[in-house]
Chains A and B, each alone.
Chain A
């Protein structure tokens, strides 16, 4: 709720857009930004998992933020990027790639400018929104909590997809 939940030593955020909305991630959690690289699809996974990529020898899963946020899919453009983030889950630091429409600039947003996320008026489940920041005095930018974007519930879904595939190989799918 408050700014104390954030890494207060870093007030810089990477901003990016998904379906014309602006979002931001604390730079402390962002590893790097990649141009769109070939993504190998991992079959029988929930739709928001686009697949896996090769990051200098490491295999990193990629999440499609459009799908995640419930928006329609679009073909990739030259602006499409993969934002590689570090997400801590169950004491494990995972690398994840977030597929976004475009990446803008690194902004400084002071803790004072951040307001708690409103509970109404947005289509999104607001767990993963740390807050909303003022941007250019006329628009707001949604600051995401990367650890919660890929919530435990969803990852369980992924796990279940895997387990379901393991236990009932065929015929149980709808």
Chain B
């Protein structure tokens, strides 16, 4: 062992890691399901493998590779943690320790490898060396081979696959497929071969053996070989690197590829100075860490966003003044500023965008712990973790999501025996996903539990006086009842949920974020909760509408279209419009003038603004539609907190305040109006 300081570091770190490994392994024996311990063990293996390779200690690297592979499988639940595995790994640890420290008896590595191999079920881990003997007289040769058949080679009756198989049988084959020449499907002719391969073959092979394989096709294909000197078949790490080099260096010109691979092989073969590379890698790492990102306190970013908001408002005033001024130069400048302000707004709002995946991973642990506590078998899957949301939004989503997930685990997923009896897998799944849809983010929490029992929900609601006994609620509406305060059909109150406090708080929180919650459920199959949230809390595109002499703002993303509504089309009875046929669909409607209790006559022509939130739609009747408006959202104040119809206020160009309407709430309003109208109408019919 040299006393080179870098090697000494390796030695020290490895010995320390091995101690940690032993601790983890011991704990794992009594808690075989503990994912954290498994991960810890895996990480140790992985680290030792990597650093050993970096320092040129191939034996250790290769040996640890086996262990790492096994633990990877264990992490993925493919191999169980057994006392046998633990003792095998402890032996492996002893072996590595002995080699690294140069002290103590080393257990027989071959036996350990055998044990591991058996666990892997005989499947080859990616290139495992046959033995770990220092002196290997079976070094074999390595070749770089290119096989490029002519496009119409199949017409000669040649079958390519047997050739490739024959090549693979010669030794260890690493294959890189070149598919750059593949045309689009429209242009693809199935009887032509558009792909070719570069291989690295290692083993007891001679050039003649390789030539034999391609003997019958050499007339119809380009076949090139390059022996790679000094590369032994046991140099798994180097071979791995060469394969990666090949993949990235997909050159059609054989000479380039050959030269690149060969020069790499030459400079990196066993016996070369790997330490230089290690040193330069370290240098790269530390530099990289400095340049890629900066940490900024959230308050500073929020302040920035606020200032941008003020700028947007000030600019809208400028726009108004400039159009009144009639001065062309000023107008032009104002437009240019508008573009800059718009870009600035987009960029600064972007700064606060964070992928939701970080929040998701926090829940994995939650689900596991929770499931274990209450005797359920549940796993959580996630998708769309790279979907980005405003950081403040994510923060405020945390609690509602926790609650929904807890509910799913506690009330949604049945105990394993019950599931089995119902023909379901014993393990329940909760699927958490996020995706972007226009200016919204949709988060779904789906479980394959027993779903909502709508009948029981209705009964419970009636008994609690939330709805009247003869109320006719659609399934969707019935599902929404679980959000009512004090509502819970859970028979027992567990530590986790069942107090009936949670879901209404969830809905409130989501509404406070100007989002919506929808539930889909099928008894026996499961429940899906959809959360729809706006991407940003601060500035939105708004549609300015006029009711009487007062402007209101509708979020543009909820607006589908605007239709004219003539006085002649109104219902002659003078009753309020409840519904309208729009292209065959009956849409509930609400006239804002009436709802806002504004006096005065209706204008001759009104406008219907068709709005949509999720799957719900309604028409809002206003006097007129003014136009788009950059809406900087201002909170309307504590005392209006419960005023659900308005989600905020904004400052108009002339300095006045306009209220922002909560479309989701208005749609509910329209639906309920419609419902009531139908009910009373039905009653009339029944009575008469």
Contacts and interface: CB of A to CB of B under 8 A. Distances in A.
Nearest to A61: B637
Interface string A78-105: 0000000000010010110000000000
Interface stretch (A8-16, A110-118, A130-138, A158-166): A158-166
A165 B310 CA distance: 31
Nearest to B595: A170
Contacts of B646: 42
Contacts of B635: 59
Contacts of B596: 43-44
A37 B652 CA distance: 14
Contact of B657 (A40, A89, A166, A169): A40
Given A52-B657, A54-B655, A40 B642 contact: no
B665 interface: yes
A41 interface: yes
Nearest to B314: A57
Contacts of A161: 643
A54 B656 contact: yes
B114 interface: no
Contact of B634 (A49, A58, A159): A58
Nearest to A40: B657
A89 B638 CA distance: 10
B637 A94 contact: yes
B16 interface: no
Nearest to A44: B597
A52 B665 contact: no
Nearest to A173: B597
A165 B643 contact: yes
Interface in B638-671: 638-646, 649, 651, 655-659, 665, 668-669
Interface residues of A, number: 34
Given A40-B649, A57-B313, A170-B669, A162 B642 contact: yes
A42 B651 contact: no
B641 A159 contact: yes
Interface in A134-164: 150, 155, 158-163
Interface string A33-75: 0000110111111000100111001111100000000000000
A153 to B, nearest CB: 13
A151 to B, nearest CB: 12
Contacts of B672: 169-170
B669 A169 contact: yes
Contacts of B595: 43, 169-170
A20 B646 CA distance: 36
A38 B641 CA distance: 22
Interface string B298-313: 0000000000001001
A44 to B, nearest CB: 7
Contacts of A44: 596-597, 645
Nearest to A63: B639
Contacts of A169: 595, 668-669, 672-673
B86 interface: no
A121 interface: no
B550 A41 contact: yes
A8 B595 CA distance: 48
Contacts of A150: 639
Nearest to B655: A54
A53 B641 contact: no
Contact of B656 (A40, A155, A158): A40
Given A57-B651, A169-B672, A162 B657 contact: no
A43 B665 CA distance: 15
Given A59-B634, A59-B657, A169-B668, A52 B649 contact: yes
B106 interface: no
Contact of A54 (B651, B673, B676): B651
Nearest to B313: A57
Contacts of B639: 49, 61, 94, 150, 155, 158-159
A58 B676 CA distance: 39
Interface in B16-42: none
Contacts of A95: 637
Contacts of B637: 52, 59-61, 94-95
B636 interface: yes
Q: Which residue, of A37, A44, A165, has the highest number of chain B Cβ atoms within 10 A?
A: A165
Nearest to B636: A59
Contacts of A42: 636, 640, 643, 646, 659
Contacts of B645: 43-44, 165-166
Contacts of B673: 169-170
B360 to A, nearest CB: 32
B570 to A, nearest CB: 18
B642 A171 contact: no
B649 A59 contact: yes
Contacts of B656: 38, 40, 54
Contact of A43 (B597, B636, B649, B668): B597
B651 A162 contact: no
B315 to A, nearest CB: 13
A40 B642 CA distance: 18
Contact of A162 (B550, B598, B643, B649): B643
Contacts of A40: 550, 649, 656-659
A117 B651 CA distance: 41
Nearest to B676: A171
A149 B351 CA distance: 43
Most buried by B among A45, A52, A61, A159: A52
B470 to A, nearest CB: 17
B657 A54 contact: yes
Contacts of B642: 159-160, 162-163, 166
B640 A162 contact: yes
Contacts of A89: 638
A65 to B, nearest CB: 16
A162 B508 CA distance: 14
Which has the most chain B C-beta neighbours within 10 Å: A58, A59, A159, A162?
A59
A92 B638 contact: yes
Given A44-B596, A44-B597, A57-B313, A162 B641 contact: yes
A166 B644 contact: yes
Contacts of B313: 57
Contacts of A49: 639
Nearest to A92: B638
Interface in B583-621: 595-598
Contacts of A94: 637-639
A89 B637 CA distance: 12
A25 to B, nearest CB: 19
A158 B657 contact: no
Contacts of B676: 170-171
Nearest to B650: A59
7 contacts: A40-B657, A43-B595, A43-B597, A58-B634, A150-B639, A165-B645, A170-B672
7 nearest interchain CB pairs?
A162-B642, A162-B643, A166-B644, A169-B669, A40-B657, A43-B596, A59-B634
Given A38-B657, A45-B643, A58-B634, 14 more contacts: A40-B550, A43-B645, A52-B649, A54-B656, A57-B634, A61-B636, A95-B637, A150-B639, A159-B639, A159-B642, A160-B642, A162-B642, A165-B645, A169-B595
